[in-house]
């Protein structure tokens, strides 16, 4: 069955700041210590950083091939306003993602992120990314300091409406380097109601605030959720039960497959993650073929197909 991974990132400290990584590693270290597994934060950080050495996505493409993933969505989150150890400006991040698009034709779609506090310059760059760079969506990271319904985002949503491209919004916890207070799903509701023609995808909705995310998906026609970060539930439960639970709620036309590569590379690779969801014993094995198709590729493909991007920019 065809598979599109709707939630990936470039594995590089150029795009994922070291402070973000060190915060995440701190949580991993605490988990291991509680289980009596002795190690140091320094050693864990070294191991984790070694997994963030794929700036051109060559390793990702190799894992996609091995897993049967035909295409992945690269989400270019904008940490640059909040995390001052960001190596690149957001404009430089966009340029790096354009290089990856050119290097691997047909394998990637890019959603450009932008902190609304960059003002008109940010709005203009984001629109340029759709008009000229071949990007096909918007990525929001509210834990960097803003609500997804903040009016400062409305110019971006107007652009998304005009170009008919989706918006992926981080929901739930993240690195302790950032605040969690803006990552509650109902904070998205005002924007979803104000922009009914814009499709919003709640990242990690099958794992964090599941009841709230499922309710929004069921009753807001333009709200979806992805299953990325299901690996965290696997670490806790030993299986992909969180995905199975989400898929039994009658909203499979709103659920989207995603892995959050490279965040969980310490736990496995893309083939193992695909198998946990789509394998013969995977979380979706008991669903109808049609529901499996919707989750694994149909829903995100349907949203991407609506894009009104210039022919010269389409990828």
User: Residue 164: left (phi > 0), alpha (psi -120 to 50), or beta?
Assistant: left
Those residues whose C-beta lies under 8 Å from the C-beta of residue 129, and which sit 6 or more positions away, are: 94, 110, 112, 135
Residue 167 placed within a domain: yes
Over the stretch 63-119, which tens digit does the pLDDT of each residue have? 999 999 999 999 999 999 999 999 999 999 999 999 999 999 999 999 999 999 999
**Residues 217-275: tens digit of each pLDDT:** 999 999 999 999 999 877 666 668 889 999 999 999 999 999 999 999 988 999 999 99
pTM above 0.85, yes or no: yes
User: For the chain, how many structural domains are there in total?
Assistant: 1
Q: Is residue 206 part of a domain?
A: yes
pLDDT digits (tens, 9 = 90+) for 155-165: 999 999 999 99
Instruction: State the chain's mean pLDDT as an integer.
Output: 94
SS (H, E, C) 178-226: CCCCCCCHHHHHHHHHHCCCCCEEEECCCCCCHHHHHHHHHHCCCEEEE
Which residue, among 46, 45, 47, 69, has the nearest Cα to 57 in the 3D structure? Answer: 69
pLDDT at 259: 97
Does residue 212 belong to any structural domain of this protein?
yes
pLDDT of residue 312: 58
Instruction: Note the pLDDT tens digit of each residue in 117-158.
Output: 999 999 999 999 999 999 999 999 999 999 999 999 999 999
Whether 114 maps to a domain, the answer reads: yes
Domain presence at residue 314: no
SS3 content of the chain, % helix, strand, coil (to 5): 45, 15, 40
- Contact status, residue 229 vs residue 208, Cβ threshold 8 Å: yes
Here the CATH number for the domain that contains residue 188 is 3.20.20.140
Residue 68 belongs to domain spanning: 3-304
Q: Is residue 312 part of a domain?
A: no
Please report whether residue 185 resides in a domain: yes
Please report whether residue 106 resides in a domain: yes
């Amino acid at each position: 069955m065809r598979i599109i991974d709707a939630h990936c990132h470039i594995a590089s400290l150029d795009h994922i700041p070291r402070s973000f990584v060190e915060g995440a590693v701190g949580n991993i270290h605490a988990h291991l210590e509680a289980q009596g597994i002795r190690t140091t934060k320094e050693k864990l950080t070294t191991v984790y950083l070694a997994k963030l050495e794929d700036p051109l996505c060559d390793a990702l493409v190799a894992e996609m091939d091995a897993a049967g993933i035909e295409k992945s969505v690269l989400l270019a989150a904008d940490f640059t306003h909040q995390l001052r150890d960001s190596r690149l400006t957001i404009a430089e991040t966009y340029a790096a993602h354009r290089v990856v698009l050119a290097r691997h034709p047909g394998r990637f779609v890019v959603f450009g992120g932008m902190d609304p506090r960059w003002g008109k310059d940010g709005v203009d760059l984001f629109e340029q990314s759709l008009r000229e760079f071949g990007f096909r969506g918007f990525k929001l990271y509210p834990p960097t300091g803003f609500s997804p319904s903040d009016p400062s985002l409305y110019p971006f949503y107007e652009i998304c409406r005009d170009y008919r491209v989706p918006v992926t919004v981080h929901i739930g916890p993240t690195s302790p380097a950032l605040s969690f207070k803006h990552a509650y799903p109902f904070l998205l509701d005002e924007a979803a109601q104000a922009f009914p023609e814009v499709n919003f995808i709640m990242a990690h909705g099958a794992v964090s605030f599941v009841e709230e995310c499922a309710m929004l998906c069921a009753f807001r026609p333009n709200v979806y959720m992805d299953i990325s970060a299901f690996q965290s539930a696997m670490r806790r439960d030993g299986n992909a039960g969180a995905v199975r639970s989400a898929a039994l709620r009658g909203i499979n036309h709103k659920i989207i497959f995603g892995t959050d590569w490279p965040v969980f590379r310490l736990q496995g690779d893309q083939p193992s993650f695909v198998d946990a969801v789509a394998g013969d014993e995977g979380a979706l094995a008991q669903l109808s073929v049609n529901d499996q198709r919707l989750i694994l590729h149909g829903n995100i493909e349907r949203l991407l197909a609506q894009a009104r991007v210039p022919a010269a920019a389409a990828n």
